Amino acid sequence: MTTTRRDLLRFAGGAAFGAFLTPAPWRLITDTALWSENWPGIPRPARGEIRTKFTHCSLCPAGCAVRARCVGQQPVALAGVFGGLCPFGVTAHHLPYHPARLRQGPVKEAAAAVAAAIAKCGPRERVAVLDLRPGRTASWTYRRAMAGVRNGTYIAPAQPPVSVNLANARTVLSLGAPLLDGWCSPANAFAARDRFRLIQAEPVESRTASLADTWLPIRTGSEQALALSLAGALDTRDAAERTGLAERQIVDLARELKENGPALVIDCRMSQNVVALNVDLGSWGRTIVPRPEAPVPAAWKTAAPPAELAAVPDGSIRVLLIDESAPGEYLPWNEIQKKLVSGNPLVVAFACSREGYGQHAQFVLPAAAFPEVTDDLPAAVDAVAPGFRLATPLIPAPDGLVNPVDFVAGVAGLAAPDALRQRADAIHASGKGKLVTYADGKSAAVKEVKADEFWKALNAGACWTGDAAQPGRAPGRDFSPAAEAAVPALTAVAAELAIADSPLMSKVYQESNLRLGPDRVAMHPRSARECGVEDGAKATLETSAGQRRVEVMIDSGICPGVVLVAARPGFEPGQAKVVRI
Amino acid sequence: MDKEFITRGVKRCSTRQFVLWILPWFALLAFGLFSAGLCLVKGLNQTNMDNRFAFGLWIFLDLTVIALGAGAFFTGFLLYILKLHELRAVINSAVVIGLVCYSGAVAVLAVGVGQPLRFWFTFWYPNVHSMLTEVTFCITCYLTVLMIEYLPVVLKNRKLRQVPSFLVFEFELHKLIYVLAGVGTFLSFFHQGSLGGLYGVLRGRPFAFREGLAIWPSTFFLFILSAAAVGPSFIVLTTWLAEKISRKKLVRPQVLQLLGRISGLLLAFYVLAKTVDTLVWINRTSPDSGFPAVQYYSWKPFGTWILFAEIVVFGLIPAMILLAPRLRARSGWLVSAAALACCGVGLNRFVQTVQTLALPTLSFDKFLSYYPSWQEVGTFLAVVAFGVLVYSFSFRYFQLFPEERELQMEVVQEQEKEQLEMAGRF
Amino acid sequence: MKRYGMSIDVDRCNGCGACMVACAVENNIPPAHQGANDRKGITWIRVYRVDNGEDFPDRRSAFVPVLCQQCGEHTPCASVCPQQAVDVDPATGIVGQMPERCLGCRYCMAACPYHARYFNWWDPAWPAGMEKTLNPDVALRMRGVVEKCNFCHGRWHAAKQRAAAAGKKDIDPADYVPACVDACPTGAIRFGDLNDSATAVAEDARKPESFRLLEKLHTDPKIYYRSKKDWVKEIASAPRPGARKESLRG
Amino acid sequence: MFPWNYGFHWSAGSFIFLGAFYTVLTVVATTVISAALRSRRDMRREQVDSIRWHSDFHDLPARDRVCRHVLTGEFQSRECPHAFDCRECSTHNKLIEKCPLAPVTDRDDEIFGMSFPLDRFYHRGHTWAHLEPDGTMTVGLDDLGRRLLGVPDEIDLPQPGDRVHANGTAFRVRKREARVRVLSPVDGEVVETGGADRGWYLRVRPDPLDVRHLLRGSEVRPWLLREMERLQLSLAEEGAGATLADGGVPVADIAASYPDADWDAVCGEMFLEA
């Protein structure tokens, strides 16, 4: 028999038909469904050994202990060791990849320029370091370095002279301090929260206010007046006048603070008046104590004393080195500017992005961002006992970065090899306190560990806590009168924005309106009406910080006459103008 | 120049005129295809839909055109199953309309989903409990049926029928057309219904949620009824338009009136059913799910007027007109009533799709508004242009109205008579 | 048979948003495209700000985290999906979403009364280098599909494997907790098995001040909210126009 | 969809739903396939001609489909159910038996000045068949048909040996823009082709010899009367204005006298082609 083409065709057809009776083609089609997952351009998560590392978050002075879930070396998720973290902390490991992140900078040129500037420094002209987060070991190094430079000055924002002990408090009056929203370490705050009554005096219904037991909506800038009147240093009627509260409320408040002690009164910076008021309320040693600090090597005592910016004479700073790598309280630039010499002063900023002081500096040098930094954390405002906590790098810092400490030390010709280690040894030498390791949660007396182990442990995720010092004599109760400021028609109040935060913060700024986005302002319907804007309207906002386009949001939880502005740190509350576009 | 393609003996405008007519529609189609392309290539971020307004203009369009396209299945049903032979005069045009509506709807659906390449998943992993599965199955099957039903119309083209095999196939297929008509009726019936069910089953949207028979909420049946009622009206409308635009007599007025009558009858039933349904919903279904029905209508601009308009203005009134023989006899009344009915179904579908999504469900929701982006509108217009073009071509080259030539003759005869009478008088 | 659920203490939530970002970190949700807004973004858990409708100074706000309510009874989204991309796992009671199966018809989003489902309007994109921080346990989604909270299925799966490795057939409750619960600094969110009456969640669910959103829809949500404030409890019921001002923020 | 798909589970729902779906698919497919098969069969059986005629007939306006017995007045109105093929028409046979054709009164070949010799059988498509002594049949255009086409510009005749079918296409003619096929009055085999000049176009050996479906004798006049009406109607429609209103004799070449009429339509009408 011969096979013709027809037979072949028949055979092919039959085969094709038969194939459809087998599961094979169907399976194949089912699989294509799975293939269609892999859309081109979608990144693949890297795989690798899952490890847990510990460090401390260096984004704010609270310095929460952090447990990092890492794939290989790379952290992919952060969690708190004692309770949760704030959203900024949760996403801190994204910071190195922020689009605005600074990676390269003219380091050599900057060094040369600084050296030159110092060389031709006039007799009355100063070389200064501005340290946004004093109390660190790095700060000590700056001070030592400045001590070695002619007219060297170490400038730092005023530190709260005391720290608070929330655990002891039964009534807490917060004068606009975001107690439950990043003022101190959230773990502490919420651990103690159920034990104290919180009274929040604030012109806007902030997060803390909405969670407070009582919210006293007061006028902007009248916190001090309230404090004074509570201390009896200001006539109640006058205070009621300024705060916009009823006299009755103030009187009741005063009584509550006295009767329902131990009471604690706080404001953002624990100002002199507030401290005095606390002393007045007999809280000294119970809810407030002098700010503790971990021991330092004796050799460091020769360091330059910290100076407040106000104390520096105007037009005297020739060279200003700003360490922005450890963000803290930002001083308004116009204040700083006053202090600079008139003829081309030299400003060098060390930062992760240009957004901060970098806008005003001649040189912006790239510094390490959070999971890359090596630094220690100063005592938080709610730390009763001295502590020593390291922020150790989880990932290696990319090349081209400068360590501001080394730079400054270099400028001053100070040999500061590994100050952190020196301090750790000093602490170990003091033999006080205990070492708490996070991995196992065990704590051991410092005496029992060797210096090397101590150091190793601190780097591997542990903290040293010393013994709470005796409160000692309470500071004298002298009040500085509250400045009678004319209240403008519209006052801008800042809802703080981070200089740079994780791109994922868009979830709370942009993909939801949970937090006030950078291009948004919120105001009371009435004040909105006065400005002739309604919800969602586009408008221009004019403040001391300049003019910008914003979208208006209506929020009847904001004091009329106040516009809540999402602003970068260093924004001073004050006169504002909102004009519809 | 294209004369040998045009049916013998019928009058059609010159090619030049025809080109001038279709050119703007082609332009519109091109624009529409461009915007649809944007949505396909760049993704649905081109639209103004969002997580809360997951459906927008397109779904509204789909529901509406499919309701209007119901004329195809329903006329087929009346002609081939119930043997209303007068309707032979419009069946072809009905088929074309059906084809246009359904293919348009399918095209828009394909653009409207996030992963068009996965359309076949629905056939592969069908969730038989989902109304959308029912919709997808019915719409695809019925589109196929419509294409097959459209085939004879095409093959009857004067040039094509010269090809023996075409001629014969057309002849044989036409013999079996009633089977397809039956299947089409079945499919379209369920399709319309499941489109209604689409919203009726949304337990989470008490504004749309309805109880009903077995797995089908009441909207299932309401949609069928309204579609069946409006389909004929739409055919009346389109035929009238075709007559006006082509300045010809295409069907006997009696046929249109018959369609009108059927439409009116069903519309009356629909209005009745809709009223009952609404009452049940207001008094039982909605309160039971914790939503007092009043609140739906207290969000501006969707006041109770919309309910009134839907049931009375666009329901009862056209029904009355269409049921009144004297009014029906006047083409003005007939057509405007048909138009009203069509608007009515449009409004109903709008309420079902847009108002349902605009209304808040959580107590801290806003009342949402939504405006389609130009890409969405463009895609919408593409469907319209596509429809007009297909209809225009079919009208020019195929026999949409078999009685056309006959009617021409009659007109002439009339004139003849008159002339003879004149002659007699002098 | 487990019935995982959540209890949220509204009186404790300070609306910091840690849960939202932690969720995004855990589940490889991309940062917002610049065109995204509060209606086009992806936030599996979203904190809304609600208020008592009063005016300053009597105005009071509360923060309500809303995530997929994991409806147990005729789950609105599961029944409507045309291609079985949504399923309720009988073993855990978790409503799962299969993005690789999803057609992107968004019918489920229209069906969900809690607006807990989110559509990928854009191709997912991360700033250069940030893709290194993606979680290897969770598959990425592509443009044009719907996604939603699944109680961190990746974590559940990992916990399951750990349990299997340890030779246990059941997950150690402490070993499986969604990211939002982990992250919450105020401890407002609790998670656990509702079937086990001993768990804190089941306890919370029984509390008199606890409530669920839109209970009358009979979808049997597994997220229990609680608050001592009456005006907060009102959020459980249907909207009443005029009764409360729209929450313009949050 | 299929048991081997992931996520498939048997349930009443899936049975009913998928059952319905597959049924629908099967029905649709079967319909189309059977239509295809039947048309294939028709092609094989060379029924294209008759089908073409049937579909033409189907599209004729009702007026033009009347039974021949309406012409002669035996019926008030009747539509021909057999596409003018009286051979299969029982009614026709009965009627013929009951009352045979009335004898022709005047032996005049002239009708409206056109010659319609009574020795011929006329087809309603304006052809005649004439039985020749040798048993073959000549087929030609009748006088009206001739005048309609005048001198054709083009004729396409079948080859000797080809078969022609009654109501099938006998030959094709073009006059001006009008292209028409002329229906054959009889079945048979073409033995010789003629032309306009010879008075006939085809010589056919008929088998079977059956002319029951053709008009003859006294039927011709009423039929022609009607045809004239139709003609003038369609002429009128084609914008030739009032014509032959007085029943005047059509000129030898009508086409020539209506240069601006749509001749295609007129011929289509008169030669019963859609």
Task: Fold for A107-156+296-465, please state it.
Answer: Rossmann fold (3.40.50)
Decide if C10 touches A, using CB distance below 8 A. Answer: no
* Sequence-separated (6 or more) residues with CB below 8 Å from residue A31: none
Query: Where are chain A's structural domains?
Result: 50-97, 107-156+296-465, 162-290, 491-580
DSSP secondary structure string for all residues of C52-70 = -S--TTT--EEEEEE----
The candidate with the shortest Cα–Cα distance to C40, out of C143, C150, C183, C180, is: C143
Contact C182 A71 (CB under 8 A): no
pLDDT-derived band at B343 (thresholds 50, 70, 90) equals very high
Contact A33 B117 (CB under 8 A): no
Cα D55 from Cα B174, distance rounded (Å): 10
Contact A91, A57 (CB under 8 A): no
Mean pLDDT of chain C: 91
Cα B181 from chain centre: 17
Choices 2.60.40, 2.20.25, 1.10.3210, 3.40.30: CATH for A50-97: 2.20.25
Tell me the C-alpha to C-alpha distance, in Å, between residue B131 and each of A369, B113, B191, B196, C50: 53, 16, 9, 9, 35
DSSP A176: S
The candidate with the shortest Cα–Cα distance to A335, out of A559, A521, A155, A141, is: A155
C10: domain range? 4-236
The candidate with the shortest Cα–Cα distance to A62, out of A156, A180, A157, A169, is: A180
Q: What are phi and psi of A43, to 5 degrees?
A: -65, 155
- Map tokens 């030898």 to a residue: D252
Q: Tell me the percentage of chain D whose pLDDT exceeds 90.
A: 8
DSSP A167: G
Contact C45, C23 (CB under 8 A): yes
- If asked whether residues D155 and D37 sit together in one domain, one would say no
Contact B412 D54 (CB under 8 A): no
Mean pLDDT of chain D: 83
Decide if C124 touches A, using CB distance below 8 A. Answer: yes
Contact B290 C144 (CB under 8 A): no
Residue of D13, D34, D36 lying closest to B129 (CB–CB): D13
pLDDT averaged per 10 residues in sequence order, chain A, 581 residues: 84 91 80 69 88 93 92 93 90 93 91 91 90 92 91 90 92 93 89 93 91 91 90 90 91 93 90 90 90 90 90 92 90 90 91 89 93 91 92 92 92 84 93 92 91 94 89 80 74 81 92 89 91 91 87 89 86 86 85
Lookup: tokens for D246 = 């007085």
Is C247 part of a structural domain of the chain?
A: no
3-class SS of residue A197 = strand
Q: Tell me the percentage of chain D whose pLDDT exceeds 70.
A: 91
pLDDT-derived band at C246 (thresholds 50, 70, 90) equals very low
Is C244 part of a structural domain of the chain?
A: no
pLDDT of residue D250: 67
pTM comes to 0.90
Contact B46, B39 (CB under 8 A): yes
Nearest CA in chain B to A30: B124
Condensed to tens digits (0 to 9), the pLDDT of residues B225-254 reads 999 999 999 999 999 999 999 988 899 999
Is C172 part of a structural domain of the chain?
A: yes
- Give exposure, A451-465, as e/b (b: 16+ Cβ within 10 Å): eeebbebbbbbbbbb
Contact A380, A184 (CB under 8 A): yes
Contact B183 D27 (CB under 8 A): yes
Condensed to tens digits (0 to 9), the pLDDT of residues D120-175 reads 889 988 998 988 888 889 998 888 888 888 778 888 889 998 888 888 888 888 88
The candidate with the shortest Cα–Cα distance to B76, out of B109, B106, B99, is: B99
Q: Where are the beta strands (DSSP E) in A186-259?
A: 197-201, 214-216
Average pLDDT on D64-86 reads: 85
Cα A204 from Cα A555, distance rounded (Å): 10
3-class SS of residue D95 = helix
Burial of residue A444 (number of CB atoms within 10 Å: 0-12, 13-18, 19+)? middle
Model confidence at C82: pLDDT above 50: yes
Model confidence at C232: pLDDT above 80: yes
Cα A11 from Cα A24, distance rounded (Å): 19
- If asked whether residues D151 and D23 sit together in one domain, one would say no
Decide if C250 touches A, using CB distance below 8 A. Answer: yes
3-class SS of residue B73 = helix
User: What angle in degrees, to the nearest 10, is found between the helix axes of B57-68 and B164-200?
Assistant: 120
Average pLDDT on D9-29 reads: 87
Cα A307 from Cα C240, distance rounded (Å): 59
Collect all residues of chain D within an 8 Å Cβ-Cβ radius of residue B164.
43, 48, 52
Highest mean pLDDT out of A239-243, A323-327, B268-272, D233-237: B268-272
Contact B58, B36 (CB under 8 A): no
Which has the higher per-residue pLDDT, C7 or A269?
C7
- If asked whether residues D262 and D157 sit together in one domain, one would say yes
D220: domain range? 48-270
DSSP C74: S
The interface predicted TM-score (ipTM) is 0.89
pLDDT of residue C247: 44
Which of B41, B124, B364, B365 to substitute to test the interface with A, most A CBs within 10 Å? B124
Model confidence at C250: pLDDT above 50: no
Which has the higher per-residue pLDDT, C180 or D200?
C180
Average pLDDT on C84-107 reads: 91
* Sequence-separated (6 or more) residues with CB below 8 Å from residue A541: A492, A521, A547, A548, A549, A550, A563, A565, A576, A577, A578
Average pLDDT on D28-33 reads: 94
The candidate with the shortest Cα–Cα distance to A562, out of A303, A323, A209, A160, is: A209
* Sequence-separated (6 or more) residues with CB below 8 Å from residue A421: A455
* Sequence-separated (6 or more) residues with CB below 8 Å from residue B414: none
Contact A93 C133 (CB under 8 A): yes
Q: Where are the beta strands (DSSP E) in B74-220?
A: 212-213, 216-217
pLDDT of residue A364: 94
Model confidence at D239: pLDDT above 80: no
Decide if B118 touches A, using CB distance below 8 A. Answer: yes
- If asked whether residues D167 and D204 sit together in one domain, one would say yes
Q: Which of residues 115-144 of B touch C (CB under 8 A)?
A: 115, 118-119, 121-122, 124-127, 129-133, 136
Report how many domains make up chain C: 1
Model confidence at B350: pLDDT above 90: yes
Reduce the secondary structure of A344-404 to three states and give it as a string: CCEEEEEECCCCCHHHCCCEEEECCCHHHCCEEECCCCCCCCCEEEEECCCCCCCCCCCCH
Collect all residues of chain A within an 8 Å Cβ-Cβ radius of residue D5.
26, 30
Contact A221, A487 (CB under 8 A): yes
Q: CA of C27 to nearest chain A CA: how many angstroms apart?
A: 10
Cα B351 from Cα B208, distance rounded (Å): 9
Contact A181 C14 (CB under 8 A): yes
Cα D254 from chain centre: 21
Which architecture characterizes domain A162-290 according to CATH?
3-Layer(aba) Sandwich (3.40)
DSSP secondary structure string for all residues of B361-403 = -STTPPPP-----HHHHHHHHHHHHHHHHHHHHHHHHS-SSTT
Q: CA of A21 to nearest chain D CA: how many angstroms apart?
A: 12
Cα C139 from Cα A20, distance rounded (Å): 33
pLDDT of residue D58: 85
Collect all residues of chain C within an 8 Å Cβ-Cβ radius of residue A75.
133
Decide if C190 touches A, using CB distance below 8 A. Answer: no
Q: CA of B125 to nearest chain C CA: how many angstroms apart?
A: 5
Q: CA of A5 to nearest chain B CA: how many angstroms apart?
A: 27
Q: What are phi and psi of A125, to 5 degrees?
A: -90, 145
Which has the higher per-residue pLDDT, B321 or C241?
B321
User: What angle in degrees, to the nearest 10, is found between the helix axes of B331-350 and B253-280?
Assistant: 30
Q: Which of residues 6-25 of D touch A (CB under 8 A)?
A: 6
Q: How many CA atoms lie within 13 A of A114 on its CB side?
A: 28
User: What angle in degrees, to the nearest 10, is found between the helix axes of B253-280 and B88-112?
Assistant: 50
Q: Could you tell me which CATH class the domain A491-580 is placed in?
A: mainly beta
Collect all residues of chain A within an 8 Å Cβ-Cβ radius of residue C132.
46, 74, 97
pLDDT of residue B368: 87
CATH number where C189 lies: 3.30.70.20
Report how many domains make up chain D: 2
Model confidence at D242: pLDDT above 90: no
Collect all residues of chain B within an 8 Å Cβ-Cβ radius of residue C141.
none
Q: What are phi and psi of A131, to 5 degrees?
A: -115, 110
Q: Which of residues 360-389 of A touch C (CB under 8 A)?
A: none
The candidate with the shortest Cα–Cα distance to C217, out of C192, C199, C238, C186, is: C238
Cα B184 from Cα B110, distance rounded (Å): 22
Contact B50 C39 (CB under 8 A): yes
Ramachandran bin of A312, using left for φ above 0, alpha for ψ from -120 to 50, beta for the remaining angles: beta
Cα A144 from chain centre: 25
Tell me whether domains A50-97 and A491-580 share a fold: no
Contact D79, D209 (CB under 8 A): no
- Evaluate the CA torsion angle D64, D69, D71, D75 in order and state its sign: negative
Contact D109, D117 (CB under 8 A): yes
For A70, the enclosing helix (H) or strand (E) is strand A65-71
Residue type, B280: V
Residue of D6, D43, D237 lying closest to B412 (CB–CB): D237
- Map tokens 């963000």 to a residue: A327
The candidate with the shortest Cα–Cα distance to A322, out of A269, A368, A363, is: A363
Burial of residue D154 (number of CB atoms within 10 Å: 0-12, 13-18, 19+)? exposed
Average pLDDT on D186-200 reads: 86
What residues pair up with A364 in beta bridges, in sequence order?
A: A349
Query: Where are chain B's structural domains?
Result: 21-411
Q: Do β-strands A491-496 and A538-543 pair in parallel, antiparallel, or remain unpaired?
A: unpaired
Burial of residue A233 (number of CB atoms within 10 Å: 0-12, 13-18, 19+)? buried
Size of interface A-B (CB pairs under 8 A): 8
pLDDT-derived band at B426 (thresholds 50, 70, 90) equals low
DSSP A299: G
Sheet containing D154-156, strands listed edge to edge, beginning at the edge strand earlier in sequence = D154-156, D169-175, D178-183
Mean pLDDT of chain B: 91
- If asked whether residues D120 and D20 sit together in one domain, one would say no
Nearest CA in chain B to C41: B51
